């Protein structure tokens, strides 16, 4: 079973709001030194989905990421967990793209990798929240996709996916090769063992430039965008909260109940 | 494709009924179509869905395209993308809107990619740039910490819209519209996806999305026992229980009651947030609530910035006392 | 010396941070302060599965072949998490002492079990005289055929209440110098004659009184050489101090972050208190203080792992780090005001641990004196 | 004097080279780098009567005239200007722009007509200078970096200066001297070094010196790795200037009555170093940017604390 996982390096989405700033001139987020970079959490779950299949059936996991200044201690994490190979599309020409131009580059890299049965992506990246790269890769490669998976099982030439729906889930089956986007419902991701972490030292990432994957310069990165960002801004929160007081927590609770009845909320 | 005109809505049908999101989309689409002085069409895809057309017209559509085939009974990406491709190429709309639903989020990007255009998912506001007639699409990004406004030059402009972000029109059954039946023209051999089983999680009591009171527990609830307490309170208030993501990930609460960016979107009359910090990812799912009441022991928690009433203290003490007092007041 | 961890160490550190955030929330830390055992078994098992308990041991003893820098990367995160449990007593004090001094048989028997999470050990050195000097050891072990009989009371012994074995440092000979005539015995805690009393402590860490009443130990259970335990013990303590400094670095760093985060959020006089220069100054001072802790500790660890003399560096790191952690946590309380002082808050955990860390294995005064000696005074 | 030449050297050298490397045109690099390498002396011209650490308030004008600027105004505390050939100058090239925007970096020739250098003496007896510009003509090719970008360039220059100030060896030299002194000097028949209090004090100062050394090395490490040093560079400067004062003060206590004897005086010990340090070192907590201001920089840049809101007050004329 040959598997490919696409991951994105993002600023830690768990960072407190107070450290979040936007540069209105460039419509981009201003990185703050205290906020670390991480792998987008859904992408970590995509890695976990692939690892689970590798645990059960064996196989090879190739991880691909795209960007510039990719921190090795961030993007190498899947290697420490048991992935086999890391390919970095690391070039200024790759960045500034939208879902489509990013998917175009990733699909080109996947074609170059050649053999694959399953491709995993996170359901959406924690920064752009776009949620489209997976579907676009599948379309470019002409393979079936299943979105928002919580369980993935590989069975001879097919993959069975529990796909999250609004009120439960569906069990969907598609032939491989196929692309699966993975959601947090997959459950907890594993932690790297010390030996796994140290072993990743020996797995140096492979760097590919646009020419290496035969990408047309006009279709990658900012040049290949179909979507234009007109504006990026922070919504203003200005609700005035009335704090209900009281001697003890029990008093506060009773006062809250009285208040809610008084203003006819309950 | 300079001759693209009109707004098309991809309408979802569940149990033979127009979904809420479809009604909202038709309301939003009607407004955009009026702004453009162009037509509003609806695309209904499925098996045995033709009878929905009049309802869609009542909610604002001028023209209904119906693709009705047994093969389309279940949503399957390959089948539905082919249908959307076929109809869009035939109608050439300027704008194609879908709901940000299980189907919409899967279908929209793939269809847009095939139509060699762009898409924006999970939008909360739509406007027309009068100068270029381009759609201006507002979408929360960075987990709800920021908003982005996007546009695109390729046509059709595809977007999915978040539930409850738009308002449906009051249905007018006297409205007139045209119904066009389109043949699916599907080759069964080209459909590779199989839906083997549909599992619906059991829900007791009132459905979360429809509840007028929602009691939501956050990470601070600390375990599954706490959610039992919240359920009791919800029963007393005739409401439903929700959860932020961490309790669902930890297994204290079922995934189906997760509220937030990657869960359900609710906008009840009263939203009681218990031990919820108010992270943007969560607020994305409940900020439409009319009255937020926050109970948290951290006076600096972000939730108080969104709340109308707040109590600073330990929920373990507050919730039972609150429930008791509410019962007492109700009995009077 | 590097001022940054390498990529793998950064991965280890980040992974540990995520692991502890999930598996060792502050609610668990507080629960363990009250708990008599003070070690959540699930957490200990998971740490063992991740290879952290054996990180510093060679592979042939079930370890991970990690070096001192790997260890301090992990220790920083343990300090940040306020990790409860016997890591210091079992893995470091006892495990390292056995690793450096034990017989091949002892090492093969015990170290894999420590790494595997099956054995808890502790080392009993200090007594009622409250001193880390050799002269303070008065517990005696007298030879009797193939055994020794240990008699006396050890105090402030960490985690003895859950230990399977206690390494007891006892006097086997009255030599010319107090350093002579000390021997290390590996004692099964269940041996008749041992009484353990748990003491109530500031930081809720588990310190015990261990009374040895004519406790019989086989000669085979001597670790290292008879009468010559002191020098080797000091070497182990030196190594443990580096790790302990790193733990305090992690705690101090977190206390600083908590204070800064609060200062950004807390509004007084219509602006975040973090915009007042007086808060800038408190935070800036703490930033310099914490960085000083880091670099002194990193330098000591680096010199140690390179096999270079590092007595000066260790003395400086321990003296500075203990006091700076305390200053930083006290600053944190100042910035947080009442919220920091409530038991719901986290700052008090760091404030408590800062002091216990400062006092354990020798305080600032002790190590400045050690440094003065190293400087030839 | 042991440290004074070092002090001046630190303020006048080492800053311009890297900045010209980074911001200069190829012609400027060709012109200035060899001169700097050959030891050309620069004096720094940041401070003015109404602009201390807040460089944005500076008022010295550089008005365009053909291919030249005409400089008018005054600089203060220009250490070394009486010996230096060049003045590394922040001047206002556009008074219309907001105060941070209209400042440019210019190299002026201190021997040009219209320049007057007058002596100022600090309490430590160090010489510094006021420099007056009266219609002084400077070619525009002497402007380093784009016009109006002086503020940004200056910030990086100050960061370099603040780091540079911290790498001085003399705190270590002084502490080593004090340790030697304590070993050799007896009071009441016992070496000072046996006094527990003095042992603690000297051990602590020795630790402080190590921290200073590590701060300096970390800064070099960050520069090598091309990391942002704007908030960590001041660590060295703050720590060193305050440590210097501690060394001088506690050194005085260790030396007792002898501590107050000047170099050259009968009975003076350690060549009067501690006495001189006691006076000199007070200056260092405000030279190169006041330590109070630097602490705010550290907290805001390094930990993301909000800046103090600026009061809307009119700029003084």
> B27-56, pLDDT tens digit by residue?
999 999 999 999 999 999 999 999 999 999
Give the tens place of pLDDT for each residue, C226-240.
Answer: 999 999 999 999 999
Q: Please answer yes or no on whether C261 and A18 come within 8 Å at the CB atom.
A: yes
User: Using CB atoms, which residue from A34, A76, A194 is nearest to C50?
Assistant: A194
HSE-up (13 A, CA, CB side) for residue C185? 27
Q: In terms of CA atoms, which chain A residue is nearest residue B213?
A: A266
Quickly count: other Cβ atoms within 10 Å of residue A55's Cβ: 11
CA neighbor of A187 nearest in space, from A14, A6, A42, A1: A42
Beta bridge partners, C152, equal C212
CA distance A49 to A43: 10
Coil/strand/helix, residue C65 = coil
The answer to whether residues D113 and D143 belong to one domain is: yes
CATH classification of the domain holding B311 = 3.40.50.1220
The shortest C-alpha distance from A166 to chain C (Å) reads 27
A51 and A83 Cβ atoms separated by less than 8 Å: yes
Number of domains chain A is built from = 2
What is the chain D residue with the closest CA to A21? Answer: D304
Residues in chain B, how many? 332
Distances in Å between the Cα of A126 and the Cα atoms of A38, A50, A234, B280, C5 are 10, 20, 16, 12, 27
Query: Residue D213 CA to chain centroid, in angstroms?
Result: 18
Question: Looking at residue D148, what is its pLDDT?
Answer: 84
Do A152 and A248 belong together in one domain? Answer: no
Neighbouring residues of C36: CB distance < 8 A, sequence distance ≥ 6: C161, C198, C206
pLDDT tens per residue, range A45-86: 999 999 999 999 999 999 999 999 899 999 999 999 999 999
Q: What is the mean pLDDT of residues C65-74?
A: 97
Which residues 6+ apart lie within 8 Å of C237 measured at CB?
C93, C132, C361
Q: CA-CA distance, C229 to A139, in Å (whole number)?
A: 71
Owning domain of residue D81: 4-148
pLDDT by residue (tens digit) across C244-272? 999 999 999 999 999 998 998 888 888 88
> β-strands A9-11, A37-39: how paired?
antiparallel
Q: Considering only CB atoms, which chain A residues are within 8 Å of C265?
A: 16, 18
Given a contact cutoff of 8 angstroms between Cβ atoms, the answer to whether C317 and C300 are in contact is yes
User: Could you tell me if residue D309 is inside a domain?
Assistant: no
Residue D162 lies in a domain: no
Architecture of domain C231-374: Up-down Bundle (1.20)
Provide the pLDDT for residue C29: 95
Helix C311-336, helix C230-265: angle, nearest 10 = 30
In A37-175 the beta strands, taken as DSSP E runs, fall at 37-39, 60-67, 85-90, 118-122, 145-155, 158-165, 168-175
User: A19 and D303 in contact by Cβ < 8 A?
Assistant: no
Low pLDDT (below 70) residues in chain D:
1-15, 17-18, 37-39, 50-56, 98-100, 121-126, 154-169, 283-289, 311-317
Contacting residues of C for B301, CB less than 8 Å apart: none
pLDDT for D88 equals: 85
> Does residue A118 carry a pLDDT above 80?
yes
Indicate contact of B with C: 3+ CB pairs under 8 A: yes
Out of D228, D302, D304, name the one closest to residue A19 (CB).
Answer: D304
Residue C271 near chain A (CB below 8 Å): no
Q: Which residue of D has its CA nearest to A19?
A: D304
Please enumerate in sequence order all residues whose Cβ is within 8 A of that of B64, keeping only pairs 6 or more positions apart, or say none: B41, B42, B43, B44, B53, B56, B57, B177, B178, B179, B180
pLDDT at C154 over 60: yes
- Same-domain check for residues A36 and A118: yes
Cβ–Cβ of D218/C299 closer than 8 Å? no
- Tell me what the pLDDT averaged over chain B comes to: 92
- Residue B259 and residue B132: Cα distance in Å, rounded? 37
Q: Edge-to-edge strand order for the sheet containing A145-155?
A: A206-208, A85-90, A60-67, A2-7, A118-122, A178-182, A145-155, A158-165, A168-175, B194-200
Q: In terms of residue numbers, what domain contains B31?
A: 7-190
Q: Is there a contact between C291 and D218 if contact means CB atoms under 8 Å apart?
A: yes
**B200/C contact by beta carbon, under 8 A:** no
Domains C7-119 and C231-374 share a fold: no
Domain ranges of chain C: 7-119, 122-229, 231-374
- CA distances from residue C97 to C44, C223, C232, D261 in whole angstroms, order as listed: 21, 8, 8, 53
Residue B316 touches partner C, C-beta closer than 8 Å: no
Q: Closest Cα of chain C to B290: distance in Å?
A: 26
> Which CATH architecture group holds C7-119?
Orthogonal Bundle (1.10)
Chains D and C lie in contact, requiring 3 or more CB pairs less than 8 Å apart: yes
Cβ atoms A68, A91 nearer than 8 A: yes
Tell me the pLDDT band of C311, cut-offs 50, 70 and 90: very high
Least Cα separation, residue A93 to chain D (angstroms): 22
Mutate to test the interface with D, among A17, A33, A36 (most CBs of D within 10 A): A33
Inform me whether the C-beta atom of residue D179 falls under 8 Å from chain C C-beta atoms.
Answer: yes
Torsion of CA C54, C60, C66, C72, to 10 degrees: 40
- Identify the weakest region by mean pLDDT among B29-33, C104-108, C133-137, D283-287: D283-287
Query: Taking 80 as the threshold, does the pLDDT of residue C37 lie above it?
Result: yes
Determine the residue among C7, C22, C91 to mutate to test chain A binding: the one whose Cβ has the most chain A Cβ atoms within 10 Å.
Answer: C7
- CA distances to B67, B187, B190, C342 from B85, rounded to whole Å, are 12, 14, 15, 62
CATH of the domain at A8: 3.40.50.620
User: In terms of DSSP H, where are the helices of chain B?
Assistant: 20-36, 53-58, 77-91, 102-114, 224-236, 245-249, 280-283, 315-331
Average pLDDT over residues B57-79: 95
* B257 within some domain: yes
Residues 184-213 on D with a CB inside 8 Å of C are 193-194, 196, 199-200, 202-204, 206-207, 210-211
Residue A229 located in a structural domain: no
Question: Which long-range contacts (C-beta less than 8 Å, at least 24 apart) are formed by A156-165?
Answer: A159/A118, A160/B196, A163/B102, A164/B102, A164/B255, A165/B102, A165/B198
Query: In the structure, do chain A and chain D come into contact, i.e. share 3 or more CB pairs under 8 Å?
Result: yes
User: Looking at the structure, do residues D128 and D178 belong to the same domain, yes or no?
Assistant: no
Residues 6+ apart with CB under 8 A from C75: C243, C244, C246, C247, C250
The answer to whether the CB atoms of B300 and C266 lie below 8 A apart is yes
Q: Give the H or E element holding residue A133.
A: helix A133-141
In Å, how far from its chain's centre is CA B139? 13
Query: Is the predicted ipTM greater than 0.90, yes or no?
Result: no
- Catalytic member of D130, D147, D161, D275: D161
Which residues neighbour C193 within 8 Å (Cβ) at sequence distance 6 or greater? C212, C213, C214, C215, C216
Structure tokens at A152: 């993935």
B110 domain residue, yes or no: yes
Query: Considering its fold, how many domains does chain D have in total?
Result: 2
Nearest Cα of chain C lies from the Cα of B297 at a distance, in angstroms, of 8
Q: Which CATH architecture has domain C122-229?
A: Beta Barrel (2.40)
Indicate if D252 and D283 belong to the same structural domain: yes
Strand partners, C150: C141, C215
* C2 contact residues in D (CB cutoff 8 A): 221
Cα distance from A180 to chain B (closest Cα, Å)? 11
Residue B124 covered by a domain: yes
Is A175 contained in some domain?
yes
- Inside any domain, residue D313: no
B297 is a domain residue: yes
**Does D110 share its domain with D200?**
no
Total domain count for chain B?
2
Angle formed at CA A76 by CA A70 and CA A79, multiple of 5 degrees: 155
The band of C198, judged by pLDDT with boundaries at 50, 70 and 90, is very high
- Angle at the Cα of C108 from the Cα atoms of C107 and C111, rounded to 5 degrees: 60
Residues B169 and B222 in one domain: no
**Distance (Å, whole) CA C205 – CA C347:** 16
- Residues D103, D235, single domain; the answer is no
3-state DSSP call for residue B217?
A: strand
Task: Read off the tokens for A189.
Answer: 């991701």
Nearest CA in chain A to D230: A33
> For D272, which DSSP code?
G
**Minimum CA–CA partner of C28 in chain B:** B222
Where residue D36 sits, what CATH number does that domain have? Answer: 2.40.110.10
E strand spans, chain A = 2-7, 9-11, 21-23, 28-30, 37-39, 60-67, 85-90, 118-122, 145-155, 158-165, 168-175, 178-182, 206-208, 227-233, 242-243
**How far is the C-alpha of B196 from the C-alpha of B78, rounded, in Å?**
16
Q: Is residue D283 part of a domain?
A: yes
Return the structure tokens found at B97: 């809107």
Q: Rounding to the nearest 10 degrees, give the CA dihedral for residues B250, B252, B254, B260.
A: -70
Q: Would you call D220 an interface residue with chain C, using a CB distance cutoff of 8 Å? A: no
Residue B136 lies in a domain: yes
Q: How far apart are CA C236 and CA C101, in angstroms?
A: 9
Indicate if A258 and A159 belong to the same structural domain: no
- Taking an 8 Å cut-off on Cβ atoms, the answer to whether C15 and A197 are in contact is yes
Give the integer Cα–Cα distance in Å for C66 and C64. 5
User: The CATH number of the domain where D229 resides is what?
Assistant: 1.20.140.10
> Locate tokens 């000390």: which residue?
C182
First to last CA, chain C: 28
Residue A230 lies in a domain: no
Cα of A80 to nearest chain B Cα, Å: 23
Residues of B in contact with A153 (CB under 8 A): none
Burial annotation C54-65 (CB, 10 A radius, 16+ → b, else e): bbbbeeebbbbb
Q: Which residue of A has its CA nearest to C74?
A: A194
Answer yes or no: do A47 and A117 share one domain.
yes
Subunits next to B (3 or more Cβ pairs <8 Å) are A, C
Nearest to C160 by CA among C212, C94, C92, C208: C208
Whether residue A72 lies inside any domain: the answer is: yes
Q: Looking at the structure, do residues B302 and B220 belong to the same domain, yes or no?
A: yes
The encoded tokens of residue A154 equal 């590989």
pLDDT, tens digit, 9 for 90 and up, residues A26-49: 888 877 767 889 999 999 999 999
| Identity of the residue in C27, C262, C266 whose CB atom sits nearest the CB atom of B222 | C27
Q: Does one domain contain both A48 and A129? A: yes
A55: left (phi over 0), alpha (psi -120 to 50) or beta: alpha
Q: In this structure, are B64 and B139 located in the same domain? A: yes
Which residues in chain C are contacts of B218 at CB distance < 8 A? none
Is there a contact between D276 and D262 (Cβ–Cβ < 8 Å)? yes
Q: Does A168 touch chain B (CB under 8 A)?
A: yes
- What is the mean predicted confidence (pLDDT) over B123-146? 92
Say yes or no: B180 and B307 in one domain.
no
Cβ–Cβ of B300/C265 closer than 8 Å? yes
Residues in chain A: 266
- Whether chain C has a CB inside 8 Å of the CB on D223: the answer is no
Residue D13 has a pLDDT of: 42
| Residues of chain C found within 8 Å of residue A73, distances taken between Cβ atoms | 7-8, 10-11, 14
* A34 chain-C contacts, CB cut-off 8 A: 257, 260
Please, which chains are in contact with D (at least 3 CB pairs closer than 8 A)?
A: A, C
Establish if A252 belongs to a structural domain. yes
Instruction: Classify residue D157: in a domain, yes or no.
Output: no
D308 is catalytic: no
Expressed as residue numbers, the domain containing A243 is: 236-266
- Minimal Cβ distance to A193: which of C7, C51, C260: C51
Closest to D105 measured CA to CA, from D64, D149, D47, D155: D149
My answer on whether A107 and A60 are in the same domain is: yes
Give the pair of three-digit tokens for residue D169: 């060896």
A132 plus A255 within the same structural domain: no
Count the neighbouring beta carbons within 10 Å of the beta carbon of residue C104. Answer: 9
- Mean pLDDT calculated for residue range B67-74: 94
Chain D contacts in chain A segment 30-69 (CB below 8 A): 32-34
- Note whether D176 and D123 are same-domain residues: no
Residues of chain C found within 8 Å of residue B222, distances taken between Cβ atoms: 27
Percent of chain B with pLDDT over 70: 99
Q: Which of A134-143, A163-172, B110-119 has the lowest mean pLDDT?
A: A163-172
Using DSSP, state whether A67 is helix, strand or coil.
strand
Place C32 in a pLDDT band, splitting at 50, 70 and 90. Answer: very high
């Amino acid at each position: 079973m040959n598997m490919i996982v696409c991951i994105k390096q993002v600023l830690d989405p768990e960072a407190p709001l107070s450290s979040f700033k936007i540069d209105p001139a460039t419509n981009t987020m201003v990185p703050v030194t205290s906020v670390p970079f991480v792998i987008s959490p859904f992408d970590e779950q995509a890695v976990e989905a692939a690892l689970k299949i590798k645990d059960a059936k064996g196989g090879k996991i190739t991880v691909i990421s795209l960007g510039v200044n990719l921190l090795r201690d961030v993007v190498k994490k899947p290697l420490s967990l048991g992935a086999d190979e890391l390919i970095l599309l690391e070039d200024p020409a790759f960045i500034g793209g939208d879902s489509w131009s990013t998917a175009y580059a990733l699909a080109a890299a996947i074609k170059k990798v050649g053999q694959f049965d399953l491709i995993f992506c996170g359901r959406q990246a924690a920064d752009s929240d776009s949620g489209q790269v997976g579907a676009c890769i599948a379309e470019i490669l002409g393979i079936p996709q299943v979105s928002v998976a919580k369980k993935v099982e590989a069975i001879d030439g097919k993959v069975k996916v529990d796909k999250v729906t609004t009120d439960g889930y569906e069990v969907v089956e598609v032939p491989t090769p196929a692309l699966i986007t993975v959601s947090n419902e997959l459950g907890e991701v594993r932690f790297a063992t010390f030996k796994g972490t140290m072993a990743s030292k020996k797995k140096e990432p492979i760097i590919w430039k646009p020419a290496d994957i035969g990408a047309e310069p006009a279709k990658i990165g900012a040049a290949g965008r179909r979507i234009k960002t007109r504006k990026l801004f922070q919504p203003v929160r200005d609700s005035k909260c009335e704090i209900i007081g009281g001697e003890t927590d029990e008093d506060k609770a009773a006062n809250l109940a009285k208040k809610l009845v008084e203003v006819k909320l309950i | 494709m300079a001759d693209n005109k009109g707004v098309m809505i991809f309408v979802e049908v569940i149990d033979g009924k127009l979904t809420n999101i479809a009604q909202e989309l038709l309301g939003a689409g009607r407004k955009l179509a009026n702004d453009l002085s162009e037509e509003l069409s609806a695309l209904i895809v499925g098996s045995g869905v033709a009878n929905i057309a009049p309802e869609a017209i009542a909610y604002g559509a001028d023209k209904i395209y119906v693709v009705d085939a047994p093969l389309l009974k279940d949503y399957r990406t390959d089948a539905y993308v082919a249908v959307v491709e076929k109809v869009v190429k035939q109608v050439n709309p300027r704008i194609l809107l879908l709901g940000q639903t299980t189907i919409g989020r899967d279908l929209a990007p793939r269809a847009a990619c095939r139509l060699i255009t762009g898409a924006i998912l999970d939008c909360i506001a739509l406007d027309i740039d009068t100068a270029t007639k381009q759609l201006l699409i507002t979408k929360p990004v960075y987990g709800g910490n920021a908003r982005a406004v996007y546009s695109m030059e390729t046509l059709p402009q595809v977007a999915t819209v978040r539930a409850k972000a738009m308002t449906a029109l009051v249905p007018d059954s006297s409205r007139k519209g045209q119904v066009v039946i389109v043949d699916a023209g599907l080759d069964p051999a080209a459909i590779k996806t199989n839906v083997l089983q549909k599992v619906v999680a059991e829900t007791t009591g009132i459905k979360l999305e429809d509840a007028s009171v929602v009691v939501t527990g956050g990470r601070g609830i600390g375990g599954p026992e706490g959610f039992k307490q919240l359920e009791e309170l919800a029963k007393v208030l005739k409401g439903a229980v929700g959860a932020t993501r961490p309790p669902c990930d930890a297994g204290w609460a079922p995934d189906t009651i997760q509220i937030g960016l990657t869960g359900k979107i609710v906008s009840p009359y009263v939203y009681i947030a218990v031990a919820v910090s108010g992270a943007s990812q969560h607020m994305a799912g409940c900020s439409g609530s009319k009255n937020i009441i926050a109970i948290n022991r951290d006076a600096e928690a972000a939730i108080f910035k969104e709340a109308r009433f707040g109590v600073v203290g330990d929920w373990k003490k507050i919730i039972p006392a609150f429930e008791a007092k509410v019962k007492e007041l109700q009995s009077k | 010396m590097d001022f940054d961890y390498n990529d793998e160490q950064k991965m280890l550190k980040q992974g540990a941070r995520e692991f502890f955030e999930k598996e060792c929330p502050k609610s668990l830390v507080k629960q363990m302060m009250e708990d008599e055992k003070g070690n959540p078994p699930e957490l200990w098992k998971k740490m063992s599965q991740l290879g952290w308990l054996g990180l510093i041991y060679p592979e042939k003893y079930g370890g991970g072949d990690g070096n001192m820098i790997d260890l301090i990367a992990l220790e920083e995160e343990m300090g940040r998490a306020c990790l409860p449990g016997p890591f210091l007593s079992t893995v470091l004090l006892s495990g390292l002492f056995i690793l450096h001094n034990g017989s091949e048989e002892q090492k093969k028997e015990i170290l894999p079990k420590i790494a595997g999470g099956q054995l808890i050990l502790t080392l009993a050195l200090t007594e009622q005289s409250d001193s880390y000097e050799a002269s303070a050891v008065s517990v005696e072990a007298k030879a009797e055929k193939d055994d020794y009989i240990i008699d006396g009371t050890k105090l402030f012994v960490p985690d003895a209440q859950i230990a399977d074995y206690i390494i007891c440092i006892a006097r086997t000979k009255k030599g010319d110098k107090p350093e002579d005539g000390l021997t290390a015995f590996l004692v099964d805690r269940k041996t008749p004659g041992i009484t353990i009393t748990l003491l109530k402590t500031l930081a809720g860490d588990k310190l015990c009184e261990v009374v040895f009443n004519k406790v019989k130990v086989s000669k085979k259970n001597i670790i290292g050489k008879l009468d010559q335990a002191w020098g080797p013990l000091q070497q182990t303590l030196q190594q443990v101090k580096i790790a302990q400094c790193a733990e305090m670095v992690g705690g101090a760093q977190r206390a600083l972050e908590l204070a800064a985060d609060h200062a950004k959020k807390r509004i007084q006089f219509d602006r975040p208190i973090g915009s007042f220069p007086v808060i800038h100054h408190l935070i800036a001072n703490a930033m310099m203080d914490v960085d000083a802790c880091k670099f002194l500790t990193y330098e000591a660890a680096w010199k140690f792992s390179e096999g270079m003399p590092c007595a000066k560096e260790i003395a400086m790191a321990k003296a500075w780090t203990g006091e700076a952690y305390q200053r930083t946590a006290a600053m944190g309380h100042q910035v947080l005001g009442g919220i920091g002082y409530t038991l719901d808050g986290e700052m008090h955990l760091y404030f408590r641990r800062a002091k216990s860390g400062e006092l354990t294995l020798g305080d600032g005064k002790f190590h400045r004196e050690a440094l003065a000696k190293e400087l030839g005074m | 004097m042991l440290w004074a030449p070092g002090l001046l050297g630190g303020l006048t050298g080492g800053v311009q080279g890297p900045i010209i490397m980074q911001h200069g045109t190829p012609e400027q690099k060709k012109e200035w780098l060899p001169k700097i390498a050959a030891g050309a002396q620069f004096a720094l011209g940041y401070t003015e009567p109404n602009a201390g650490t807040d460089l944005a308030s500076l008022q010295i004008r550089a008005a365009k005239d053909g291919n030249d600027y005409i400089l008018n105004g005054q600089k203060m505390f220009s250490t070394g200007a009486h010996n230096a050939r060049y003045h590394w100058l922040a001047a206002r090239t556009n008074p219309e722009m907001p105060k941070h925007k209209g400042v440019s970096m210019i190299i002026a020739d201190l021997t040009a007509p219209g320049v007057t250098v007058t002596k100022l003496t600090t309490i430590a007896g160090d010489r510094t200078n006021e420099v007056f510009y009266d219609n002084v003509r400077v070619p525009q090719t002497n402007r380093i970096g784009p016009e109006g970008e002086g503020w940004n360039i200056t910030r990086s220059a100050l960061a370099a200066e603040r780091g540079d100030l911290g790498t001085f060896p003399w705190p270590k030299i002084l502490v080593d001297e004090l340790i030697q002194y304590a070993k050799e000097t007896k009071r009441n028949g016992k070496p000072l070094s046996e006094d527990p209090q003095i042992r603690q004090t000297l051990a602590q100062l020795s630790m402080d010196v190590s921290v200073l050394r590590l701060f300096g090395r970390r800064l070099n490490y960050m520069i090598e790795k091309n990391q942002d040093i704007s908030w960590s560079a001041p660590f060295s400067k703050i720590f060193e200037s305050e440590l210097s004062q501690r060394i001088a003060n506690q050194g005085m206590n260790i030396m007792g009555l002898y501590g107050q004897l000047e170099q050259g005086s009968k009975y003076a010990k350690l060549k009067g170093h501690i006495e001189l340090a006691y006076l000199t070192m007070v200056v260092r907590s405000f030279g190169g940017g006041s330590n109070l201001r630097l602490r705010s920089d550290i907290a805001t840049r390094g930990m993301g604390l909000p800046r103090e809101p600026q009061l809307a007050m009119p700029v003084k004329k």
